[in-house]
């Protein structure tokens, strides 16, 4: 299968109503080119899964400002005032998930687990509508896996088979999201030949990656 594709080919795979995971942390290495292409295309009614919504003018924050997101699953929204405005106006359905729980729910989907047990959120609004399970006398919330139709992630260096090296904090949610979607597209800062990334530096193996954009694509 051809993994190297253009931005145009990638955005043609993104359709209204899809559930999409996007890597990054406060706009630190969102897949900016892919997001900008989504904004330009005007794809709408997205269910967006992301740690946060960055800032109004940065990365996935633009999708919020452009009102392309129908539902948001995230850990916080404080840095993008437009997210809060739309939530309070009833224009955007927001599911707030504790950050560690969000990561574990995504990881659970990637690992094929039925969910994770956590005490985080007990006694708060987080537990509303969720099953409580008692293990050795202690209560836990059952948090179910989160999976997406599509994951858009970023790699600092990606070889032509899709093996990914991340750079420092840009690693954040990208590796776990690569395991938890039907289709994974990585936006590469640099594309290299197979063998140019040291094996010890490969965090996401190419078997998880369906398509690569970057360079002059």
Domain map of the chain by residue range?
7-114+146-214
Output the pLDDT for position 169: 81
Give the range among 17-26, 106-115, 168-177, 202-211 with minimum mean pLDDT.
168-177
Top CATH class, 7-114+146-214: alpha beta
- Predicted model pTM: 0.93
Output the pLDDT for position 170: 82
Q: Is 173 exposed, middle or buried (0-12, 13-18, 19+ CB in 10 A)?
A: buried
- Does the pLDDT value for residue 216 go beyond 60? no
Output the pLDDT for position 215: 56
Q: Would you say how long the chain is, in residues?
A: 217
Q: Which residues lie across from 207 on neighbouring strands? A: none
Task: Summarize the confidence of residues 2-13 as an average pLDDT.
Answer: 94
Phi then psi for 9, rounded to 5 degrees? -65, -40
Q: Which residues lie across from 143 on neighbouring strands? A: 116
Output the pLDDT for position 62: 95
Give the chain's mean pLDDT: 94
Mark residue 6 as left, alpha or beta (left: phi above 0; alpha: psi -120 to 50; beta: remaining): beta
CA atoms of 155 and 192, how far apart (whole Å): 12
């Amino acid at each position: 299968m051809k993994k190297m594709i253009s931005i145009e080919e990638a955005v043609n795979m993104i359709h209204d109503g899809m559930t999409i995971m996007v890597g990054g942390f406060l706009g630190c290495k969102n897949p900016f080119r892919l997001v900008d292409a989504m904004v330009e295309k005007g794809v709408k009614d997205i269910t967006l899964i992301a740690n946060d919504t960055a800032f109004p003018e940065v990365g996935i924050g633009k999708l919020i400002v452009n009102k392309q997101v129908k539902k948001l699953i995230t850990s916080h929204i404080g840095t993008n005032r437009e997210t809060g405005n739309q939530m309070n106006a009833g224009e955007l359905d927001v599911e707030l998930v504790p950050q560690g729980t969000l990561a574990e729910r995504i990881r659970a989907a990637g690992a094929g687990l039925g969910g994770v047990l956590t005490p985080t959120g007990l006694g708060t609004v987080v537990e509303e509508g969720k099953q409580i399970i008692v293990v050795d006398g202690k209560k836990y919330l059952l948090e179910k896996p989160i999976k997406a139709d599509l994951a858009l992630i970023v790699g600092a260096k990606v070889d032509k088979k899709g093996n990914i090296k991340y750079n420092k904090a840009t690693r954040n949610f990208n590796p776990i999201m690569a395991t938890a979607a039907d289709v994974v597209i990585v936006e590469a800062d640099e594309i290299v030949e197979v063998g140019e990334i040291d094996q010890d530096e490969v965090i996401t193996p190419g078997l998880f990656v369906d398509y690569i954009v970057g360079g002059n694509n």
